[in-house]
Structure 1
Amino acid sequence: MNSLKFLDLSSNQFSGTLPKEFVIGKSFLYLRLSNNNLIGKIPPGLFKLQSLEALYLDRNNFEGEISNVHFSGYSALSILDISNNNLSGKLPRWSKNFLHLSELDLSTNHFDGSIPEEFCYIASLRLDLSHNNLSGSLPHCSSPSSRHLSEIYLSKNRLNGLLTHSFLNISSLEILDLGENNLSGGIPKWISNLSSLRILRLKGNLFFGEIPNEICELDQLRIVDLSHNQLSGHIPSCFGHLIGAPNSFSSWSEIFDSSTFNFDTSTEMEARLMQEVHTQLGSHGQHWIELVTKWWSYTYEGNILDYMSEIDLSCNQLTGLIPLAMGNLSDIHSLNLSHNNLTGPIPSTLSDLKQLESLDLSFNDLTGEIPSQLTELNFLAVFSVAHNNLLGPIPYGKGQFGTFDNNSYEGNPLLCGPPLEKSCKETSAQPKSYT
C-alpha cells in the first residue's frame, strides 16, 4: 500500500513492535497509532517520511532515544505527538528541521538534560515538554519563528534559574505553564509584553519578591496561579481588574486551515479526506491546564477554558489587606488566598463576585466578623476562613452558608453560632496570638 496517505489505527489493542518495513516506500500524509500497546523503539524512518505531515504515536509504550535521528533535509511534519510513552535521553536537536511544525508534544516521557536552543527555532504554535526530567535554565527564545508560539507547557520538570528574557518577544503567547519546577528570582516586569496571555501558571517554584503591577496590564488574563512560591509584599490593588472577558482561545480549526498543510487534493476523494482530517485535528491537541479548585486538582481542557477564571495566590508570604477592589472580579469562579500572612477584615465587596464557586481565605491573620453580605454568593460550593482571628456570629443557614460545616471555621476561637457548638451567648475567649 505504498500509495496510502491516510491511516488511523488509534485506540485499539495492538501490541508488539512497529516493523521497520512499515515505513519503507510509504507516502503517508496522516498517520495515527495513538492509544495502543506498541513497544520498542520508534523506527527512525517514520520521522524521515518526506510527505508525512501529521504523526501521532502518543499513549503507547515506545522506549529508547530519538536524539540520534539524522536528517538529510527538512521534514514536512506539521504535527508530531509522541507524548505519554517511555522515551528517554536528551531532547533532539533536529527539531529545527521542522520548519512547518504547528504542534510538538513530547510530554510525559523521561527526557532529561537541558532544552536545546534549537527549540526556539520551531515555528510551533503549541509546544508541550511537560512531565519530563528536564533540567537547566530556560532557553532565550528570541528567534523570529518563536514569536508565533501560542502555548508553552514546561510544568513538572526540574528547570532552574531565572526567567530573565526567555519569552520576552512572544506577544502571541496565550498559555504559559512553568509550574512545579525550581525556577527562582522575581517575576519580571517584562511579563506585561505578553499581551495575549490568558493563562499564567507559575505554581510550585522558588519565585520571591513582590508581585509586579505589570501583571495587571495583561487584560486578557483569565487564570493566574502563583501559588506555592515565596512571594511577599501586598496583593496589588490592580488585581481587582485582572480577569479578562471570556473570549475564546485560538481555535484549532482556524490554526489548521488549508494553508497549514501542503496536501495534494487533486481528487475529490482526497478533498473529502482532507476535510475529515481537519475535523480530527480540531478535536486533538486542545489547550489544557492543571488547576486546584474546590480543594481538588483538576485538568481543564478544551472549550471550558474559555469560561474558567481563577486567581490562586495561596502558600506564599503575602501581607497586608485584601484589596477592596477584589470585589470587581465579577466573572471569577475561584479565589484562593490561603496560607499567607494577610491581615485586616474580609472585604464585604467580595459579595459582588456573583459567579464565585470557591473562596479560600484560611490560614491568615484576618480579623473582624464574617460579612453577612457573603450569603448573597449563590454559587459558592467551597468556603473556608479557618485558622484566622475572626469573631462574632457565623452567617449560617442563609443560602449556601447552610451547607458549610465546622471545617470551614475551625481555628477561630471567637467565632460562634451554628455549625459550631459554641453559642454566641457564651463568654468570648481571648483572641489567639500569632508569632
Structure 2
Amino acid sequence: MGVRYTLWVAVAVSWLCIQAQVLHSQKSLVCNSSDSEALQDLMSNFASALQGWGPNASDNCCNWVGVKCESSSSLGGSDGSSGSGRVVELVLASKKLAGNLPDSLGKLDQLRLLNLSHNLIEGTLPESLLHLPKLQVLDLSYNEFSGPLPASVDLPLLRVFNISENSFSGSLPVWICTNSTGIQVLNLAVNYFSDVIKLGLGNCGSLQNLSLATNSLTGGISEDIFTLGQLVQLSLQENSFSGLLGSGIGNLTALIRLDISTNGFSGPIPDVFQNMKKLQYFIGQTNGFTGSIPPSLSNSPSLTFLNLRNNSLTGTIVLNCSALSSLVSLDLGSNSFNGPFPEDLPNCQKLQSVKLARNKFTTPIPQSFKNFSSLVHLSTSNSSLSNVASALEILQHCENLTVLLLTGITSTKNYEVKRV
C-alpha cells in the first residue's frame, strides 16, 4: 500500500506541476493586438458586461475568463515572439450573454474551439465565422440565432458543428460538407430547416453523429446519407419525412442508434438489418409502417431497445428470443397485431419492459409468463384480452414486476400483485 500511495503522490505532483507550467505560460503571454480588438468588439456587442473581461480585469485578453492563448511561435507565427499570444480557445457557455456576434470574430484566425452555447445570443451568423482556417469545434447550441446560414462555408479542419436548439431556417446546409470533409459531429436539431435534403452530406465521409431532429424536412432520406459508413448515431425524428424507408439504411453497418420516429414513413420496414451488428436502439414510433416486423430485426442479437409504437403493423408478433439476447425494452403498442399473445417473450432473458397495449390478441397471457423473471413493466391495456383473474394468477409469479397495466386499467400507477 505504501508503494501505491507513493506512486499516486508522484503522479499527482507531476500533474500539478504540468498544470502550473501551463498556467504560468498562459499568464506570461501578451494577447495579439488583432485578437484583442476582436474580443473587445465581441464584448461591446453584449447587452451586459462579462465578468472577468475588459480593462478592469486585465489589459491582456489572454488572461480573460474563457480565453486560452498559445504563443505565436508555437503556432508558426511570423513574428517569432514567444511572448505574443494568439487566442486558440474561447469558451463562454452558460454566461447569460445577450446580443449579436460581430463580423470581427473572423480576425481570430488561430481559433480552434468556440463554445458560446446556452446563452441568449440572437441574429444571424456572420459569414466570417465560417471561414476560420483552424476552427475544429463550433458549438452555438441553445441560443436564439435565426435566419439562414451563410452559403459560403470554408472550415477545412472542422470536427464538431453544433447549432442545435436555435431558430435557423432555410434549406439544410449540406454545403458544409464541401470543404469540411473531416467533420465527425453535425448537429442541426431543433431549428426550422425545411424542404428536402439535397445531395451533399455524403461528402462528410468521417461523420459519426448526424442529428437533423425536430425540423420541417420533407421527402425521403437523401440517398447519400446511406453512404456514411462510419455513422454511429442517426437522429431524424420529428420531421415530415414520407414514403418508404429506403433499403439503403442497411448500409449503415456502424449504427448504434437509429431514430426515425414521428414522421410519415409508410410501407413495410425493409428487411436489411442483418449486417447492422452494432445496432442497439431502433426507434420508429409514430409513422405509417405496415406489414410485420422484419426477420433481420426480430433476430438481432445487439438490439437493446425496440420501439415501433403507433404504426399500422399487422399479423402475429414473431420475435426470436434466442437471438434477441440483449433486448431490454419492447414497445409495440397501438398497432394492429393479432393472433396469439407472444408466449416466447420470457425467453428474452434481459427483457424488462413490454408494452403491447391497443392490439388485438386472440389468446390470454400465456402460462410461460410465470417464468418471466426479468419483467418489470407490462402494459396490455385494450388488447382484447380476457380473464383478468387468470392473468393476475400468472403474473403474480413475476417477482420483479412493479408496473402492470391490464385491460380496463387506464391509470399509470403501479398495480400491486400478490406474491406467492
Tell me: CA distance 1:386–1:347, structure 2 relative to 1, closer, same or farther (3 Å): same
Alpha-carbon spacing, 1:63–1:29, altered in 2? closer, same or farther (3 Å): closer
The code of the aligned residue for 1:388 comes to N
* CA displacement, residues 69-89 of structure 1 (integer Å, 9 cap, x when unaligned): 364x55111111010011111
Residue 20 and residue 402 in structure 1: after superposition, are their counterparts in 2 closer, same or farther (change >3 A)?
closer
Counterpart mapping for 1:234-273 below 5 A: 234-244=268-278
Alignment of 1:319-398 (within 5 A): 319-395=290-366, 396-398=369-371
Name 2:93's counterpart in structure 1. 58
Residue in 1 aligned with 2:199?
165
Q: RMSD across aligned C-alpha pairs, in angstroms? A: 3.0
| Corresponding residue of 1:275 | none
Q: Distance in 2 between matches of 1:402 and 1:106?
A: 42
In the aligned structure 1, how far is the partner of 2:192 from the partner of 2:171?
A: 9
SS at match of 2:101: coil
Q: Which runs of 5+ in 2 are unaligned?
A: 1-23, 30-47, 69-83, 395-420
Residue identity in the other structure for 1:17? L
SS in 1 for 2:27: coil
Name the residue aligned to 1:217: 251
Distance 1:404 1:30, change over 3 A: closer
Mapped to 2, the partners of 1:377 and 1:371 lie a distance apart of 12
2:40 pairs with 1:17: no
Instruction: Check 1:70–1:104 CA distance in 2 against 1; reply closer, same or farther (3 A cut).
Output: closer
Distance (Å, rounded) in 2 between the aligned partners of 1:5 and 1:105: 28
Structural mapping, 1:56-205, within 5 Å = 56-69=91-104, 71=106, 73=107, 75-119=109-153, 121=155, 123-141=157-175, 144-205=178-239
Deviation at 1:359, TM superposition (A): 0.4
**For structure 1, which segment, 381-390 or 311-320, has the greater mean C-alpha deviation from structure 2 after superposition?**
381-390
Deviation of 1:60 after TM superposition, in Å, equals 1.3
Alpha-carbon deviation of 1:372?
A: 2.0
Whether 2:179 is the aligned partner of 1:206: answer no
8 Å contact kept, 1:155–1:180:
yes
**Taking structure 2 as the reference length, what is the TM-score of the superposition?**
0.73
Q: Match for 1:179: what amino acid?
A: A
Q: What is the TM-score with the length of structure 1 in the denominator? A: 0.71
Check the 8 A contact 1:5/1:29 in 2, yes or no: no
Q: Which has the higher contact order (CA 8 A, sep 6+)?
A: 1
Larger Rg: 2
C-alpha change, 1:184 and 1:119, in structure 2 (3 Å) is same
Paired residues of 1:190 and 1:214 also in contact (CA < 8 A)? no
Q: How far does residue 118 in structure 1 lie from its aligned partner after superposition? A: 3.4
1:32 deviates by 5.5
- Describe the superposition over 1:153-191 as per-residue Cα deviations: whole angstroms up to 9, x where unpaired: 111111111111141211100000000111111112222
The verdict on how the C-alpha distance between 1:365 and 1:116 changes in structure 2, with shifts beyond 3 A counting, is same
Structure 1 residue 52: Cα displacement = 1.1
Residue aligned with 2:243, SS: strand
Match 2:372 to one of 399, 403, 426: 399
Percent identical across equivalent pairs?
A: 28
Question: For the residues of structure 1 that align with 2:350 and 2:25, how far apart are their CA atoms?
Answer: 58
Aligned mates of 1:354, 1:2 — CA distance in 2: 54
Deviations along 1:316-364, one digit per CA (max 9) or x if unpaired, are 0000111122133111110001100001111131452111111000000
Q: How many residue pairs end up in the alignment?
A: 336
C-alpha separation in 1, matches of 2:375 and 2:180: 52
Quick one: distance in 2 between partners of 1:139 and 1:120? 13
User: Equivalents in 1 of 2:168, 2:235: separation in Å?
Assistant: 18
Matches of 1:238 and 1:231, distance apart in 2: 16
Matched, 1:413 2:413: no
Compute the displacement of 1:419 (Å): 7.4
* CA distance in 2: counterparts of 1:53 and 1:196, whole angstroms: 29
Structure 1 SS opposite 2:97: strand
Q: Is the 8 A contact 2:349 2:374 kept in 1?
A: no
Between the aligned partners of 2:138 and 2:163, the Cα distance in structure 1 is 8
Maintained 8 Å contact 2:245/2:266:
yes
- Provide the C-alpha distance between the structure 2 equivalents of 1:368 and 1:5, rounded to a whole number of angstroms: 76
User: Tell me, which stretches of 5 or more residues in structure 1 are unaligned?
Assistant: 7-14, 34-48, 246-308, 424-435
Per-residue CA shift, 1:290-313, capped at 9, x if unaligned?
Answer: xxxxxxxxxxxxxxxxxxx20001
Distance 1:402 1:95, change over 3 A: closer
Say which SS state the counterpart of residue 146 (structure 1) adopts.
coil
